[in-house]
Chain A
Amino acid sequence: MVNKQNFTPTRTPMPEQPANVRNKNFSEVALGYSKEEAMAEAARCLQCKKPLCQKGCPVEIDIKEFIKHLADGDIPSAYRTIKETNALPAVCGRVCPQENQCEGSCILGKKYEPVAIGRLERFVADTFDSDSACEMITGHTACSLPNEQFKVACIGSGPSSLTVSGYLAARGVPVTVYEALHEVGGVLIYGIPEFRLPKSIVAREVGALWSKGVTFMPNYVGGKTLTVQDLFDDGFDAVFIGVGAGLPWFLNIPGENLVGVYSSNEYLTRINLGRAYDFPKFDTPAPKARNVAVIGGGNVAMDAARTALRLGADNVYITYRRTKEEMPARLEELHHAIEEGVQLELLTSPIEINGDENSHVKSMTLQVMELGEPDDSGRRRPVPVKGKTKELEVDMVILAVGTGANPVLLEATPGLDLNKWGYIVTDAETGETSIPNVYAGGDIAGGSATVISAMGAGRRAAKTIADKLGV
């Protein structure tokens, strides 16, 4: 039944920095709702008897319930509801592809615009003023006291491990998180740029976990500084592996090792983790270029392209072998990128990167493509137009064509079953691997996916561990 009184067909717009201003800075693009805007948007929710949105959410937040509280202006109750299942709402509200998840399932979206669930989740997480770390982590004022008889280790500190730590810390289990880099947060820190996810948001979550008894150990490389066996020898009851899928893919085309060719991982790690955008205040040098080509059509490609614009490039091209419609990136990200001045070179696939006499990139040769018959995934397959190529003058190429499983930890862990793509095999129900009491989740157990699905996997494993420990 449509609540006619409050019903509006379009969603409340969210203020954002104008495109010609934001493409020169690294501050967050979307500025967030005010309380009035959030309550007005919350009032659009129909409070369905059988809400489809909840099924669309990988961690099944009770969306209807939290929105009801928000519509009443009760932020603490809304926060508590979200926190029942979601460890990092301020993150998810910003980076989830809601159009394929909760909002994609919202009944209003069938005829009008769906409720802006992500923006509301973000508003609640940003605005709720917790009294304690326990309240921030769980939404409740009291957590279990630390029980020193147990200890659990996480390898990797991305979204899946942060979820495991939060879940167990709230139940009194001390967790130690080992991270290879010098800063905690995984892809939230090195991958997703400041203009989409401010680092202060991640730091706040990590800070709350520290105060709830989670210990973060940076500069520990799983498989090098320590192995899974070392952790068991050290008395850990369970080990969760959440090391992500951090191995960058290259295309194996001529010219790929020329100066000026980067993996998106390197480019983004320099800028985000190394703060190279603030060179020379920070020591990591930022790669400089006037004309940049980013290869790929996913969110990482958008992040890299928008970063290159902010670093002052005159032209940034996204080259993609299919059309706009098939791009895997979030619509919102693509839209933002185009608004900011990113140019699309669609239906092209690079075949060679050409260098000058100093082995520096000077152009890229692209094979022109057209769409053929649909492939197994249902998307129309790009096929080369015979003999038709074009040359793009660029002095930098960023490859954002996906990542695979990094073998460093896996090679050092005998007995760990991997699938044919090199990812860890886990039990779908429990998250346990082929080694007893070793769990895995997130990208290392399933290939590159979303922050929220990594968190879902973390939650599943944490539940199993908590059950086994009897907490």
Chain B
Amino acid sequence: MSNKILTKKALIPGQTSMLVIDCPQIAKKAKPGNFVILRIHEKGERVPLTIADTDHEAGTITIVYLVVGKSSALLETLNEGDIILDVCGPLGKPTHIEKSGTVICVGGGTGIAAMHHIAKGHHRAGNHVVAIVGARSKDLLLFCTELDCFCPELLIATDDGSSGHKGFVTDVLRERLEKDKNVSEVVAIGPVPMMEAVSKVTKPFGVKTTVSLNSIMVDGVGMCGACRCNIGGETKFACVDGPEFDGHKVDFNELRMRLAQYKEQENVSMDLFRRDHG
């Protein structure tokens, strides 16, 4: 297990990067929907990141991250040839993929990367994949070229209208669902408000909706319950029971509250990092 960074690519400079990491043992087993837990240095914390792609033959996995705090900022300081101390996975249940017809995959922010892996899985299973991606503006869109390769429909929404529809992904999704009554599933991955909004849009259409929850994790193997969430009144562990759940059953409010619980410490950590790294 080398965990060596083979390729690093800035997708949105200073904000979002993509790493291709040499992890043959994980690449061999990884499926769309799985994630890994990384620890970057000796004093590091364990952070979950979705596997955005795998190359079974090359023995690599791809991850995409947004620089939001200390650990992702630290990850951003690494370069090609550097080693990530710990990479653990593949974790979580893989996405349930079967040939079902038309599947709409909605992605927002770095979530587009994870969505891309799942969309690819649906495409390989023979589904007609509609990709809907959204960002604030054109420069912040990810994976459009890759998605374009296998998605017969790639629909874009930007807040400022610099590309595609001016507005939210949910507008595009609603319109698409209105004209096609045969959509078998909607998959949404991105920020919590976006996944919640997508679930609200699909509800009246009665379309099966899958969301991938990004709750706080520690071990990622089901031994602590830090990632627990409320799914239709039942407590589930996102790391082993998910991370994908029925969007119509998720208590998004609770998820939001639990995600914010370390705000204060996260700021302390980030301030120290800025002080030390300029």
A contact set with B: CB distance below 8 Å: 180-182, 217-221, 224-226, 246-248, 250, 252, 256-257, 259-260, 262-263, 265-266, 269-270, 274-275, 279-286, 288, 358-359, 406-408
The answer to whether residues A282 and B43 also contact, given A224-B29, A247-B222, A266-B225 and a CB cut-off of 8 A, is yes
Q: Determine the distance from Cα of A408 to Cα of B92 in the docked complex, in whole angstroms.
A: 10
Q: Mark B26-61, 1 if CB is under 8 A from A, else 0.
A: 100100000000010001111000000000000000
Determine which of B223, B261, B265 lies in contact with A279 in the assembled complex, contact meaning CB atoms within 8 Å. Answer: B265
Q: A275 contacts which of B1, B43, B71, B260 (Cβ < 8 Å)?
A: B43
CB-based contact B269/A280 at 8 Å: yes
Closest Cβ of chain B to A348, distance in Å, is 23
Provided the pairs A248-B224, A283-B70 are in contact, do residues A269 and B219 lie with their beta carbons within 8 angstroms?
yes
Cβ contact of A219, chosen from B1, B29, B223, B254, cutoff 8 A: B1
Instruction: Give the distance in Å from the alpha carbon of A254 to the alpha carbon of B75 in the complex.
Output: 39
CB-defined A-B contacts under 8 Å, sample of 20: A180-B219, A181-B219, A182-B85, A219-B88, A220-B25, A221-B91, A225-B90, A250-B228, A257-B228, A257-B254, A259-B258, A262-B226, A265-B224, A266-B224, A269-B219, A274-B45, A279-B265, A283-B44, A284-B45, A407-B222
The complex places the Cα of A280 from the Cα of B265 at a distance, in Å, of 8
Given A182-B88, A225-B89, A280-B268, the answer on whether A257 and B224 have CB atoms closer than 8 Å is: no
Let me know if B87 is at the binding interface, CB within 8 A: yes
Complex CA distance for A293 and B260, rounded to whole angstroms: 22
**Interface check B177, CB cutoff 8 A:** no
- Chain A residue contacts of B85, Cβ below 8 A: 182
Question: With A219-B86, A259-B258, A283-B71 given, is the CB distance from A224 to B91 under 8 Å?
Answer: yes
Residues of A within 8 A of B43 (CB): 275, 281-283
Task: Tell me the complex Cα distance, A145–B92, Å.
Answer: 41
Which residue of B90, B235, B262 is within 8 Å of A285 (Cβ)?
Answer: B262
A190 to B90, CA, bound (A): 21
Whether B218 is near chain A, meaning CB under 8 Å from some CB there, is yes
B contact residues around A270 at 8 Å (CB):
218
Asked if B201 is at the interface of the complex by the 8 Å CB criterion, the answer is no
Q: Which residues of A contact B223 (CB under 8 A)?
A: 246-248, 265, 269, 406
CA of A250 to CA of B26, assembled, Å: 31
Contact of B98 with A by CB under 8 A: no
**Across the two chains, which residue of chain B brings its CB closest to A358?**
B257
B230 at the interface (CB under 8 A from A): yes
**B46 and A274 contact, CB distance less than 8 A:** yes
Contact B266 A285 (CB under 8 A): yes
Report the minimum CB–CB distance from B91 to chain A (whole Å).
6
Whole-angstrom CA separation of A275 from B228 in the bound complex: 22
Residue of A nearest to B41 (CB): A283
Option from A181, A226, A265 in Cβ contact (under 8 Å) with B225 = A265
Q: Closest approach, in angstroms, between the C-beta of B86 and any C-beta of chain A?
A: 4
- What's the minimum C-beta distance from B21 to chain A, rounded to whole angstroms? 13
The size class of the interface chain B forms with chain A is: 35 or more
Q: Which residues of A contact B144 (CB under 8 A)?
A: none
Residue of B44, B218, B229, B272 with most chain A CB atoms under a 10 A cut-off: B218
Q: Tell me the residues in window 226-278 of chain B with beta carbons closer than 8 Å to chain A beta carbons.
A: 226, 228-230, 235, 240, 253-254, 257-258, 260-262, 265-266, 268-269, 272
Q: Please, which residues of chain B bring their CB within 8 A of the CB of A226?
A: 25, 29
Does B221 count as interface, using CB distance less than 8 angstroms? Answer: yes
Among B26, B225, B258, B260, chain A packs the most CB atoms within 10 A around the CB of B225
Chain A minimum-CB-distance residue to B259 = A259
Please provide the 3 A-B residue pairs with the shortest distance between their CB atoms, ordered closest to farther: A285-B265, A266-B224, A246-B223
Distance A281 CA – B260 CA, assembled complex (angstroms):
21
**Chain B residues touching A, majority SS:** mixed
Since A218-B86, A407-B240 are in contact, a sample of 20 more A-B pairs with Cβ atoms closer than 8 Å, ordered by chain A residue number, is: A181-B219, A219-B1, A220-B25, A221-B91, A224-B29, A226-B25, A246-B222, A248-B225, A250-B225, A250-B235, A259-B261, A266-B226, A269-B224, A270-B218, A274-B218, A282-B43, A282-B45, A284-B218, A288-B265, A359-B258
Chain A residues within an 8 Å CB radius of B230 = 257
A406 to B219, CA, bound (A): 13
Contact with A along B52-80 (1 / 0, CB 8 A): 00000000000000000011000000000
Query: How many contacting A-B pairs (Cβ < 8 A)?
Result: 119
**Min distance, Cβ A197 to any Cβ of chain B, angstroms:** 19
B contacts, CB < 8 Å to A: 1, 25-26, 29, 39, 43-46, 70-71, 85-91, 218-219, 221-226, 228-230, 235, 240, 253-254, 257-258, 260-262, 265-266, 268-269, 272
Find out whether the CB atom of A285 lies under 8 angstroms from the CB atom of B269. yes
Name the B residues within 8 Å of A225 (CB-CB): 25-26, 29, 88-90
Partner of B235, one of A217, A257, A359: A257
**Contact partner of A263 among B88, B224, B258, CB < 8 A?**
B224
Q: How far is the CA of A284 from the CA of B29 in the complex (A)?
A: 28
Using A257-B235, A283-B71 as known contacts, say yes or no to A221 and B225 having CB atoms under 8 A apart: no
Q: Which residue of B lies closest to A222 (CB)?
A: B221
**Given that A219-B1, A219-B87, A406-B223 are known contacts, is A359 also in contact with B269, CB under 8 Å in the complex?**
no
Bound Cα distance from A285 to B262, whole angstroms: 7
Whether B257 contacts A359 by the Cβ 8 Å rule is yes
Q: How far is the CB of A319 from chain B (nearest CB, A)?
A: 19
A182 pairs with B221, CB closer than 8 A: no
Q: Which residues of A contact B70 (CB under 8 A)?
A: 283
Closest to B230 in A: A257
Q: Closest chain B residue to A252 by CB distance?
A: B235
A110 to chain B, nearest CB (A): 42
User: Looking at the complex, which one of A221, A279, A288 makes contact with B88 (CB distance below 8 Å)?
Assistant: A221
Bound-state Cα–Cα, A224 to B28, Å:
11
A408 to B90, CA, bound (A): 12
Contacts of A256 in B (CB 8 A): 235
Distance from A273 Cβ to chain B, minimum over Cβ atoms (Å): 8
In the assembled complex, the Cα of A247 lies from the Cα of B261 at a distance in Å of: 23
Bound form: Cα–Cα A266–B222 in Å = 10
Assembled-state Cα–Cα distance A263/B1 (Å): 32
How distant is the Cα of A250 from the Cα of B237 in the complex, in angstroms? 12
Minimum C-beta distance from B29 to chain A (A):
6
- B256 smallest CB distance to A (angstroms): 9
Q: Closest residue of chain B to A285, judged by CB?
A: B265
Whether the pair B222, A406 counts as a contact (CB closer than 8 A) is: yes
Chain B residue, CB-CB nearest to A406: B222
Complex Cα–Cα for A228 and B64 (A): 31
Give the chain B neighbours of A250 by CB distance below 8 A.
Answer: 225, 228, 235
List B contacts of A224 (CB < 8 A): 29, 89-91, 221
Q: Are A180 and B221 in touch, CB under 8 angstroms? A: yes
> Is A408 in contact with B225, judged by CB distance below 8 angstroms?
no
Name the one of B86, B240, B254 contacting A359, with C-beta atoms under 8 angstroms. Answer: B254
Shortest Cβ distance from residue A360 to the other chain B in the assembled complex, whole angstroms: 8
Inter-chain CA distance A252–B87, complex, in Å, is 33
